[in-house]
């Protein structure tokens, strides 16, 4: 689970994240919306232990962030970049991640991860030869191979076609149902609203609106989101 | 069975292995470095007036200039290769200490530099007709010492330069001044060895080089985490 | 424009030292008038090293304390230091030519200063290549610390090279014993140049603060989102 209390991060004089408080339990999925520059990525990086808070507190499973390797071991990170080595095969990429995270049976775990993402067929192909959608699937396999309890996804739907996005959403739902905590930054309202248990809109570093599932009238929410997101 | 992330040593080896695997697959940097080395040996030869400079003196200087520049070719790709798909973010997010990333990449760079030297030195011996075999062992020691220093500094600056606008300019600009002690010590020691002088004549330079290495390696490893934290 | 006391004192001392050096200090017998470049060359070298030392200290402290003021100090000292290092490299050859017959003789100290010049330039180019203020400060600090630790090796290796490497024997310009009148001029020049350095450092520091504030106002967001 993730907990943040008045979490703040400043860069010089600028407050990228300004007093954000949130509490997510196992099985929760938070969709994080907001215009560019709202602080979403910064917030995610703090949850991932990649950035130190400058104010307030945050913790994962009770361990204060940024913590150390023991916290990062529980987190799976997804981005719109593939985070894959183009010259290596899909399997080699996933196995490398498995090794870094200390997964016991590297080969088996990698095979399983690729299989769950429907990428087994392409396991031995160099990543650079795969389609964007397939690369994203391999990237997800890489991010999940160590069975993280926390998944932080920064615009993971970028570049995916409709079927790829649907596959990803269904995987997220499956993980959510098996007890993981997810935070998904996205501009893709539809996909996110259909699978999240909480939704937040950020602007200028602050959470300006926070809703718990079930999210009311999707169309109204969308209109509200557009209105809030436009004037920064 | 729960996951058990590797300690610094094992993680460094994993990362080094990964880097070398990628280099083996793409072979781009190693071929450029090797081609550059041999071509440079030839070019220097064409620019040489044998009546003015002895071949031993020339060879030593040439070898170490080539060492420096071919090393740079490998160093650039060290962190440069982690940029296109932001794999560096994945490394930073992994439950391994920052020092492990630095040491792993340093190790891979060391292997790279060693591989280039394994070709360059015999090529130099051949083309310049200098006797390397009798001094092979001490020479190997000099090369190792010089390589360690080069790699310690170069890996660190590669990590820095890659995040800036002028990456290709910055790596040599930042590194070369700090390579001066390495080049001076290594080339002077090599020249003495090639001239048939006893190893003790080169001892002063070697000692300085080794101390330099120790400082460079320790310091670089310690400051590297400051580069990746935010 | 308000002129600070420090500016007046610094400039006045430098002018005073120059007047003393030119008109009230005797001409050295062996080298002639060219020797008087010493009164610019030597203090410039002193300031170049002093400035570098400050960059190193500020860098180390910055990585420890993360106070942006320390970064301003490092940045300012580096720029001012570069100016004085350039002065050393310009006055050195000007002095060498009439005295030794060649502009550049790979003298150990001058060679070391040349490499130091490149370290300074590298530092400033690095700063210029990074937009994000926090990253720029951090990276510069890392370079500053590395410089502090490794620059002594540059000195040692160059010195070793010069003493162990057979080279044409040259006259050493700064004879160990100088008549008191010259020593006073020399010491005064060190003091005057140090004041000059402090003044320039302060002005450059103010510029760094102002520019940072202006950047923030103009661009609002800077740094990663």
User: Which CATH number does the domain housing residue A33 bear?
Assistant: 3.40.50.300
**Are A91 and A184 within one domain?**
no
Asked if C225 has any chain A CB less than 8 Å from its own CB, the reply is yes
- Which one of A147, A178, A204 terminates a domain? A147
Determine the residue of chain B that is closest to A48 in CA distance: B93
Residue A130: DSSP 8-state: S
Helix runs in B81-197, H state only: 87-93, 98-128, 136-161, 167-194
**Are A141 and A158 within one domain?**
no
**Are A14 and A69 within one domain?**
yes
Nearest to A83 among B81, B85, B229 (CB): B85
Task: Work out the pLDDT band at C74, boundaries 50, 70, 90.
Answer: very high
pLDDT reading at B59 higher than 90? no
**Are A25 and A123 within one domain?**
no
Write the burial class of residue C111 (CB in 10 Å: 0-12 exposed, 13-18 middle, 19+ buried).
Answer: buried
Give chain C positions within 8 Å (CB) of A12: 68, 133-134, 212, 216, 222-223
**What pLDDT does C109 receive?**
87
pLDDT digits (tens, 9 = 90+) for C15-58: 988 888 888 888 777 777 777 888 899 999 999 999 999 999 99
Q: Do A42 and C225 touch (CB under 8 A)?
A: yes
**Are A13 and A70 within one domain?**
yes
- Which one of A147, A168, A194 terminates a domain? A147
**What pLDDT does C223 receive?**
39
CA atoms within 13 A on the CB side of A164: 17
Residue ranges of domains in chain B: 8-228
**What pLDDT does A164 receive?**
74
In a domain, C221, yes or no: no
**Are A67 and A163 within one domain?**
yes
**What pLDDT does C170 receive?**
46
C150 CA: distance to closest CA in chain B (Å): 7
Query: Best-predicted range by mean pLDDT among A22-36, A183-197, C61-75, C93-107?
Result: C61-75
**What pLDDT does C176 receive?**
53
Task: Work out the pLDDT band at B220, boundaries 50, 70, 90.
Answer: very high
Q: C217 or B104, which is more confident?
A: B104
Task: Work out the pLDDT band at B135, boundaries 50, 70, 90.
Answer: confident
**What pLDDT does A230 receive?**
61
| Integer Cα distance of B224 and C23 in angstroms | 54
Helix (H) or strand (E) run with residue A29 in it: strand A29-33
Asked if B85 has any chain A CB less than 8 Å from its own CB, the reply is yes
Q: Do B230 and A101 touch (CB under 8 A)?
A: no
Which residue is associated with the tokens 């202006």?
Answer: C214
Count of domains observed in chain C: 1
Pairing of strands A55-60, A63-64: antiparallel
In a domain, C7, yes or no: no
- Which one of A113, A147, A181 terminates a domain? A147
In a domain, C29, yes or no: no
Tokens (6 digits) for B128: 């310049």
pLDDT reading at C167 higher than 80? no
Q: C183 or B221, which is more confident?
A: B221
pLDDT reading at C194 higher than 90? yes
Tokens (6 digits) for C174: 């700064």
C72 CA: distance to closest CA in chain A (Å): 13
pLDDT reading at B230 higher than 70? no
Task: Work out the pLDDT band at C221, boundaries 50, 70, 90.
Answer: very low
Which residue is associated with the tokens 């330039």?
Answer: C121
| Integer Cα distance of A68 and B128 in angstroms | 54
Asked if B181 has any chain C CB less than 8 Å from its own CB, the reply is yes
**Are A162 and A231 within one domain?**
yes
**Are A171 and A142 within one domain?**
no
Among A49, A81, A100, the strongest candidate for a mutation testing the B interface, having the largest count of B CBs within 10 A, is A100
Mean pLDDT split into 10-residue runs, chain A, 232 residues: 88 81 91 86 87 87 85 88 93 96 93 87 92 87 90 85 79 87 87 85 86 73 70 48
**What pLDDT does C222 receive?**
43
| Integer Cα distance of A180 and A206 in angstroms | 25
B31: CB partners within 8 A, 6+ apart: none
The rounded mean pLDDT for chain B is 90
pLDDT digits (tens, 9 = 90+) for B188-219: 999 888 888 888 878 889 999 999 999 999 99
Q: C183 or B15, which is more confident?
A: B15
Write out the residue range of the structural domain in which residue A92 sits: 79-147
Q: A touches which chains (3+ CB pairs under 8 A)?
A: B, C
Give chain A positions within 8 Å (CB) of C220: 14
Q: Do C143 and B160 touch (CB under 8 A)?
A: yes
Residues of C within an 8 Å Cβ radius of B: 63, 115-116, 118-119, 121-122, 125-126, 129-131, 134-135, 138-139, 141-143, 145-146, 149-150, 153-154, 156-158, 160-161, 164-165, 224
**What pLDDT does C219 receive?**
60
Give percent above pLDDT 90 in chain B.
Answer: 60
ipTM of the complex: 0.90
Nearest to C223 among A12, A36, A38 (CB): A12
Among candidates C167, C164, C107, which has minimal Cα distance to B205?
A: C164
Count of domains observed in chain A: 2
Task: Work out the pLDDT band at C171, boundaries 50, 70, 90.
Answer: very low
Write out the residue range of the structural domain in which residue C144 sits: 44-163+179-212
């Amino acid at each position: 689970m993730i907990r943040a209390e008045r979490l703040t991060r400043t860069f010089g004089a600028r407050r990228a994240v300004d007093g954000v408080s949130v509490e997510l339990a196992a099985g929760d999925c938070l969709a994080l919306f907001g215009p560019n520059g709202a602080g979403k990525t910064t917030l995610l990086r703090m949850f991932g232990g990649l950035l130190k808070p400058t104010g307030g507190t945050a913790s994962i499973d009770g361990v204060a962030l940024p913590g150390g390797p023991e916290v990062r071991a529980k987190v799976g990170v997804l981005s719109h970049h593939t985070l894959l080595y183009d010259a290596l095969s899909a399997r080699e990429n996933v196995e490398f991640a498995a090794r870094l995270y200390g997964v016991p049976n590297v080969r088996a775990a990698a095979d399983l991860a690729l299989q769950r993402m429907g990428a087994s067929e392409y396991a031995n192909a160099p990543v650079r030869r795969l389609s964007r959608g397939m690369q994203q699937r391999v990237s997800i396999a890489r991010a999940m191979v160590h069975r993280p309890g926390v998944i932080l996804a920064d615009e993971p739907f970028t570049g995916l076609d409709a079927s790829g996005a649907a596959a990803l959403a269904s995987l997220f739902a499956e993980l959510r149902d098996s007890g993981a905590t997810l935070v998904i930054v996205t501009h893709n309202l539809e996909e996110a609203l259909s699978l999240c248990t909480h939704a937040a809109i950020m602007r200028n570093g602050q959470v300006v609106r926070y809703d718990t599932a079930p999210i009311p009238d999707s169309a109204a929410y969308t209109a509200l989101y557009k209105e809030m997101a436009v004037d920064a | 069975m729960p996951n058990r992330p590797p300690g610094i040593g094992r993680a460094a080896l994993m990362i080094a292995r990964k880097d070398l695997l990628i280099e083996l697959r793409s072979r781009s940097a190693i071929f450029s470095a090797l081609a550059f080395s041999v071509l440079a040996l030839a070019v220097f030869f064409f620019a040489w007036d044998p009546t003015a400079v002895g071949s031993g003196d020339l060879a030593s200087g040439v070898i170490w200039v080539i060492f420096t520049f071919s090393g740079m070719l490998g160093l650039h790709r060290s962190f440069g290769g982690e940029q296109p798909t932001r794999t560096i973010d994945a490394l930073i997010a992994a439950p391994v200490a920052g020092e492990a990333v630095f040491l792993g990449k340093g190790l891979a760079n060391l292997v790279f530099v060693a591989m280039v030297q394994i070709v360059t030195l015999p090529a130099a011996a051949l083309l310049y007709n200098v006797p390397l075999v009798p001094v092979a062992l001490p020479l190997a020691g000099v090369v190792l010492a010089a390589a360690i220093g080069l790699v310690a500094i170069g890996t660190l600056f590669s990590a820095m330069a890659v995040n800036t606008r002028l990456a290709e300019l910055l790596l040599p600009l930042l590194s070369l001044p700090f390579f001066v002690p390495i080049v001076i010590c290594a080339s002077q020691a090599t020249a003495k060895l090639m001239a048939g002088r006893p190893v003790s004549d080169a001892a002063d330079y070697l000692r300085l080089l080794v101390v330099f290495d120790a400082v460079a390696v320790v310091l670089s490893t310690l400051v590297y985490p400051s580069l990746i934290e935010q | 424009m308000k002129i600070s006391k420090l500016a007046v004192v610094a400039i006045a001392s430098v002018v005073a030292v120059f007047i003393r050096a030119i008109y009230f200090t005797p001409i050295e017998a062996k080298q002639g008038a060219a020797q008087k470049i010493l009164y610019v060359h030597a203090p410039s070298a002193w300031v170049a090293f002093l400035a570098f030392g400050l960059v190193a200290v500020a860098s180390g402290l910055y990585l420890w304390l993360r106070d942006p003021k320390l970064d301003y100090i490092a940045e300012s000292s580096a720029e001012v230091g570069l100016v004085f290092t350039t002065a050393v490299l310009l006055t050195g050859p000007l002095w060498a030519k009439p005295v030794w017959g060649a502009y550049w003789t790979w003298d150990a100290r001058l060679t070391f200063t040349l490499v130091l010049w490149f370290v300074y330039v590298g530092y400033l180019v690095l700063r210029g290549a990074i937009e994000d203020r926090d990253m720029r400060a951090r990276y510069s600090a890392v370079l500053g610390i590395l410089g502090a630790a490794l620059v002594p090796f540059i000195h040692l290796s160059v010195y070793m090279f010069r003493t162990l490497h057979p080279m044409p024997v040259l006259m050493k310009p700064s004879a160990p014993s100088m008549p008191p009148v010259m020593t006073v001029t020399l010491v005064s020049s060190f003091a005057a140049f140090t004041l000059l350095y402090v003044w320039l450092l302060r002005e450059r520091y103010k510029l760094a603060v102002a520019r940072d504030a202006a950047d923030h106002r103009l661009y609002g967001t800077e740094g990663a989102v």
